Amino acid sequence: MSTATGRHFLQIPGPSNTPLPVLAAIAKPTIDHRGPEFRDLALDVLTRVRTVFGSAEPVVIYPASGTGAWEAALVNTLSPGDLVLMAETGWFATLWQRMATKLGLETEFLATDWRRGAPADAIEARLREDKGHRIKAVAVVHNETSTGCVTDIAAVRRALDRASHPALLLVDTISSLASIEYRHDEWGVDVTVAGSQKGLMLPPGLSFNAVSQKARKAAETARLPRSFWDWEDMIAINAKGFFPYTPSTNLLQGLKVALDLLEGEGWPAVFARHQRAGEATRRAVRHWGFEVQCADPTAESPVLTAVRLPEGHSADRFRQIVLERSNMSLGNGLGPLADRVFRIGHLGDFHDGLVAGVIAAVELGLTQAGIPHQSGGIQAALASLAGNAGPVAS
Ligand SMILES: *Cc1c(COP(=O)(O)O)cnc(C)c1O
């Protein structure tokens, strides 16, 4: 039996905490997905969600986790044996690459040390070599949730442009959308993949493809089998406010309220709040004497911080102690980072005080776990939060 007391702190980098008004909207009675109330809801969220992607083009919403939207991006645009250029930024990039292979695509996987974003220079060099345009798509992860490193998507776009290469650009924003500024149209992204349970503050269960005209054109001749994921079936009937199969009606009710909350706060404030949290968390980590997994200061994530514990200390044992003593869930290390790092999520529904509470609980846990560190990380974080918060409204 659990003896946990106090409110649970869900500080993994997704799923993130869901605000009470969103939970209340999801708990409303299920409605007729072919009726007028649903039509009004669908037309509203399908239109407003485009702004979140920075796109004027259609956004397709699936009743699926982010993995489904990964598959949708590939099967709508590519044919068996097509070559996809990907970058091994971490665990999620690896899973997407494995999926591409399973679907019958060929991949080239540019290696990194899992401590930086996708290398735009190497992408450009590889595209320049590809005179015959065998590479049909470049696929990268915007915020690599296993490492806490962000890829500069505008730089990847420039790599394609400088190489004058016609490949499609596919981007996974599952853990960045609505937390880090993103511009699907301006950056010339062809398919943007996203999910509901991270920056959008919903429970898991919705995922998204924002789709360019070039991507829809590619879909006309793409031959990978697809049915459930087919964009055109969706887009055609979405225009009338309906879906080709039963959508997640209650999650869409929640999405409407989540968009109300985020738009009410204002996108610049939302992005600044995440940056402030990332900065404060890294200050604390460095004060404790630890390294963050991201080794490129220009790529540090506003969404999560992956913390490298000193050699000989188990990150999983540490997380267990924090869960038992402070009722707080921290993210585990993934793939080769298992037990080496723990991840602090600072995304979705939070404020400066919650960030401070999380850092305090981590520092407490370090003492309780007997992991040597310099105390006072929490003070460093508080100073950072106070310094970055701007003047208090009078
Ligand atoms: C969470 C995540 C995924 C996987 O999404 P699911 O909803 O678990 O299927 C993929 N990519 C990134 C970057 C993620 O953070």
Task: Indicate the angle between helix axes 213-221 and 66-77, nearest 10 degrees.
Answer: 60
| pLDDT of the residue at 394 | 52
Mutate to test the pocket of ligand 1, among 174, 200, 209 (most ligand atoms within 8 A of CB): 174
Note if the pTM is more than 0.85.
yes
Q: How far is the CA of 67 from the centre of ligand 1 (A)?
A: 6
Ligand 1 — pocket residues by CB below 6 A?
14, 65-67, 92, 141, 145, 172, 174-175, 195, 204
CA 65 to ligand 1: nearest atom: 7
The C-alpha atoms of residue 246 and residue 244 are separated, in whole angstroms, by 7
The C-alpha atoms of residue 142 and residue 133 are separated, in whole angstroms, by 24
Cα torsion angle, 156, 158, 160, 166, sign: positive
| Nearest protein Cα to ligand 1, atom 2 | 174
Mean pLDDT by 10 residues, the chain (394 residues): 83 98 98 98 98 98 98 98 98 98 98 98 98 98 98 98 98 98 98 98 98 98 98 97 98 98 98 98 98 98 98 97 98 98 98 98 98 98 88 56
CA 173 to ligand 1: nearest atom: 13
Q: How far is the CA of 307 from the centre of ligand 1 (A)?
A: 19
| Nearest protein Cα to ligand 1, atom 5 | 66
| pLDDT of the residue at 4 | 82
* Stretch (H or E) spanning 110: strand 106-111
| pLDDT of the residue at 393 | 56
Encode pLDDT of 180-226 as tens digits. Answer: 999 999 999 999 999 999 999 999 999 999 999 999 999 999 999 99
What domains can you pick out in the chain, each with its CATH number? 20-263 (3.40.640.10), 266-387 (3.90.1150.10)
Q: How far is the CA of 145 from the centre of ligand 1 (A)?
A: 8
Q: How far is the CA of 78 from the centre of ligand 1 (A)?
A: 21
Give yes or no for a contact between 336 and 5, defined as CB atoms under 8 angstroms apart. Answer: no
| pLDDT of the residue at 388 | 81
DSSP string of 302-319, one letter each residue = SSEEEEEPPTT--HHHHH
